[in-house]
A = this chain, B = another copy of it.
Amino acid sequence: MKELKHRSTCPVSTSLDVLGDRWTLLILRDMVFAGKSTYGQFLQSAEKMATNILADRLAVLEAQGLLTKAVAADKKSKFTYRLTEKGVDTVPILVEFILWGAKHCPTIIDPGLLAELQTEKDATVAKYQQRAREQALA
């Protein structure tokens, strides 16, 4: 069980204690926007996460209740990671990171998604949250 030290009672600080590093939110991004759910899929993202870091972060996210781990339906040698409601609730955070990065950094992003986020943020957030919930039932 991965323990976690909380530095203060401030909600920004406690959120950062869980999510504040270079990799954790990328895993959640891959689940929400790319529909990924397995260790092997997470390893294939453009940022090339090291295998030990991925294993560590998945363990933290599971211990903190943002995702669940279960044996895959098709193969016993495979695990499927799914978002809990606590994990689904990080979608608004991911969206704000997308909007900030798209505005202020050199990035490449699907223009359709960006336009959707800029004009109908709340509905788009809700759409991806609903999609994640439905995957969790599958």
Q: Other than the known A7-B46, A14-B101, A16-B25, what 14 A-B pairs have Cβ atoms closer than 8 Å?
A: A8-B45, A10-B47, A10-B101, A10-B107, A10-B109, A11-B105, A12-B25, A12-B94, A12-B97, A13-B47, A16-B22, A17-B105, A89-B100, A95-B96
Known: A93-B97, A106-B6. A22 touches B17 (CB 8 A): yes
Does more than half of chain A's interface fall in helix, strand or loop, or is it mixed? Answer: helix
**Interface size bucket, A side?**
35 or more
Chain B residue with the shortest CB-CB distance to A98: B11
Cα(A95)–Cα(B12), bound, Å: 8
- Find chain B residues with CB under 8 A from A25 CB: 12, 16, 20
